[in-house]
Amino acid sequence: MDRVALRGLKARGHHGVFPREREEGQTFIVDLMLGLDTRPAAADDDLAKTVHYGIVAEEVVEVVQGEPVDLIETLAERIAQQCLKHDGVQEVEVVVHKPDAPITVPFDDVTITITRSRV
């Protein structure tokens, strides 16, 4: 299976269990690894036979900016399901970064990584 990667998609969302997170929002960063067969697109040099990563990026940002959820696990699942709506995408790995998580000690990042497939 071939891979198309999108890294560092940034969007502001209002996800979290604390009122401040819901009210003020914060930046979330998303990395995607889309699994698909790119041979048909390459053979015909045809965008219609692959995944349009620009559209995927816009859809992911809409999910992050959309309806708030408590957990980044839920956010990652919603993103994965959106990616799998694209016909050619057979598998997706989603990493959601929450660099401004409400943690009281110094840290660099909090992430959740999930992998989902059609099978």
| Three-state DSSP class for residue 41 | helix
pTM for the model stands at: 0.96
Map out the domains of the chain as residue ranges.
2-117
| Cα 102 from Cα 99, distance rounded (Å) | 9
Contact partners, residue 92, CB within 8 Å, separation at least 6? 32, 33, 34, 35, 80, 83, 84, 115, 116, 117
State the DSSP string of 93-114: EEEEE-TT---SS--S--EEEE
CATH of 2-117, one of 1.10.150.120, 3.40.190.10, 3.30.1130.10, 1.10.10.10: 3.30.1130.10
Residue 82 has a CB neighbour count (10 Å cut-off) of: 18
pLDDT in tens, the chain (119 residues): 999 999 999 999 999 999 999 999 999 999 999 999 999 999 999 999 999 999 999 999 999 999 999 999 999 999 999 999 999 999 999 999 999 999 999 999 999 999 999 87
Catalytic residues: 98
Tell me, rounded to whole angstroms, the distance of Cα 88 from its chain centroid.
17
Q: What's the pLDDT at 57? A: 98
